[in-house]
Structure 1
Amino acid sequence: MATLLIEKKPKYERIINILAVVVPVAVAALLGIRQKIELGAWTKVLPHVIGVINSLTAILLLTGYYFIKKKDITGHRRSMTGAFLLGSVFLVCYILYHISNESTPFGGQGFVRPVYYFLLISHILLSIVVVWFVLRAVYFGYTNQIVQHRKAVKWAMPIWLYVSISGVVVYLMISPYYT
Structure 2
Amino acid sequence: MIPNPVLKKNDKRANLIIAIVSLVIFLVVASLSRIPPPRFPFDFNVHIFALINSLINSAVAILLIAGLVAVKQKQYVLHKNIMMVAIVLSVLFLVFYIGHHLFAGDSKFGDINHDNVLTEAEKAAVGGIRYFYYFILITHIILAAVILPFILFTAYRALTGEYSRHKKLARYTWPLWFYIAITGVLVYWMIAPYYS
Q: Same fold (TM over 0.5)?
A: yes
Residues 151 and 100 of structure 1: is their aligned pair in 2 closer, same or farther, counting only changes over 3 Å? same
Paired residue for 1:68? 71
Question: Whose radius of gyration is greater, 1 or 2?
Answer: 2
Paired residue for 1:50? 53
Does residue 13 of structure 2 align to residue 11 of structure 1?
yes
Q: Which amino acid aligns with 2:64?
A: L
**How many equivalent residue pairs?**
179
Structure 2: 5+ residue stretches without partners: 111-124
State the shift of 1:75 in Å.
1.1
TM-score (structure 1 length as normaliser): 0.92
Percent identity between the two aligned chains: 34
For residues 177 and 35 of structure 1, what CA distance do their matches in structure 2 show? Answer: 17
Identify the match of residue 35 of structure 2 among 33, 39, 58: 33
Conserved in 2, the CA contact under 8 Å of 1:31 and 1:95? no
1:150-173 CA distance string (max 9 Å, x none):
122111101000000001111111
Structure 1: 5+ residue stretches without partners: none
Point out 4+ residue stretches in structure 1 off by more than 4 angstroms.
none
Does residue 59 of structure 2 align to residue 23 of structure 1?
no
Q: Which amino acid aligns with 1:92?
A: V
For residues 114 and 27 of structure 1, what CA distance do their matches in structure 2 show? Answer: 24
Question: Does the residue aligned with 1:62 lie in a helix, a strand or coil?
Answer: helix
CA RMSD of aligned residues (A): 1.7
Conserved in 2, the CA contact under 8 Å of 1:3 and 1:143? yes
Paired residue for 1:84? 87
